[in-house]
Amino acid sequence: MTSAAGAGAGPRVGMALLAMDDDSGLEPFYASLLAGLEEELDRHDGTVFLHIVPDLDAEILAYRRWVAEDLVDALVVSDLVEGDPRLVVCAELGLPAIHIGGDPASGAWVVDYDNAGAMRAAVQHLTGLGHENIAWVSGPERYRHTQARAEAFTDAVNAAGGRGTRREGDYGAAAGTSLTGELLDLNPRPTAVVYDNDLMAVAGLREARRRGVQVPHDLSILAWDDSANSRICHPPLSVVSRDVHELGVITAGVLLQAVRGDVPMVQTPPCAQVVARASTAPPKS
């Protein structure tokens, strides 16, 4: 799928994303990010070319096609992995590329995000309630942001004298359901679970309720990102909250500087905070 928004005489920005939910659509995080990105670029007559791809090879092919057809002036690269081949390709193509969650020491255009600090805040919220047996349903291990969260999760749980359990998911609802089932089958089972996105968290909530596990009386749930999905479910989910729309606006601002030929810079949005709602509470005695 390819789409363009705000076509005009301003900067033309390309962004390719892997389908991350069970319907091959956009994860809510990226829907909010793109809304902010397009909103800011529209003010400068900019265009966003969005392409949904099955893998990194297809993403790189999209980059090459955009350049060959002179469709874009800059790229947004997200979900970075170690030794990411897309960064080399961007350099070869001679296009400025904004790395969301990239290495601040890389000398590239980076919109940084403190994943480690956000995970520490999540664990501290739960340990502050008295939870000692905490699980984490993560995104794929290959992503740099997952690795940063993993180290912080382990350190924060250990610092609190607790026990940490991890299951690796793919951000989809099916993974949230199956991995929650695995965690609830453990003995002893966790008293709290952190999920790396809202789709897995909502699915985990449904699976807990299907098994007769009451949230938060028997199990506390904390989701990543404050989306509508998190707010309208029952009970409303406590979240690691960051302004994803504003993150898109910030990314657009960095893009505008990159297209002008400014010196590469690192932009760091405010750190996420925990918003406590009805899905987290002290564990049963």
The secondary structure element, H or E, covering residue 274 is strand 273-275
Whole-model pTM: value is 0.91
Task: List phi, psi (to 5°) of 10.
Answer: -85, -170
Q: Quick one: CATH architecture of 2-113+243-271?
A: 3-Layer(aba) Sandwich (3.40)
Fold match flag (2-113+243-271 vs 115-241):
yes
Per residue in 210-228, pLDDT (tens digit) is: 999 999 999 999 999 888 8
On the question of pLDDT at 3 being above 60, the answer is no
pLDDT at 137: 98
Residues of the chain with pLDDT > 90, as a percent, come to 82
Domain residue ranges in the chain: 2-113+243-271, 115-241
The secondary structure element, H or E, covering residue 241 is strand 238-241
pLDDT at 18: 83
On the question of pLDDT at 21 being above 60, the answer is no
On the question of pLDDT at 278 being above 50, the answer is yes
On the question of pLDDT at 22 being above 60, the answer is no
On the question of pLDDT at 7 being above 60, the answer is no
Residue 264's pLDDT band (cuts 50, 70, 90): very high
Question: Three-state SS across 24-46?
Answer: CCCCHHHHHHHHHHHHHHHCCCC
Per residue in 30-42, pLDDT (tens digit) is: 989 999 999 999 9
Per residue in 126-179, pLDDT (tens digit) is: 999 999 999 999 999 999 999 999 999 999 999 999 999 999 999 999 999 999
On the question of pLDDT at 85 being above 60, the answer is yes
Please say whether the beta carbons of 217 and 281 come within 8 A.
yes
On the question of pLDDT at 68 being above 60, the answer is yes
pLDDT at 113: 87
Pick the closest to residue 137 from 179, 172, 177 (CA basis).
Answer: 179
For residue 259, which amino acid is it?
A: V
Pick the closest to residue 119 from 85, 150, 84 (CA basis).
Answer: 150
pLDDT at 23: 57
Instruction: Average the pLDDT over 204-215 and give the result.
Output: 98
DSSP conformation letters of 113-135:
--HHHHHHHHHHHHHHTT--EEE
Please give the Cα distance from 273 to 172 (Å, whole number). Answer: 24
| CATH T-level fold of 115-241 | Rossmann fold (3.40.50)
On the question of pLDDT at 112 being above 50, the answer is yes
pLDDT at 28: 85
On the question of pLDDT at 8 being above 70, the answer is no
Per residue in 133-144, pLDDT (tens digit) is: 999 999 999 999
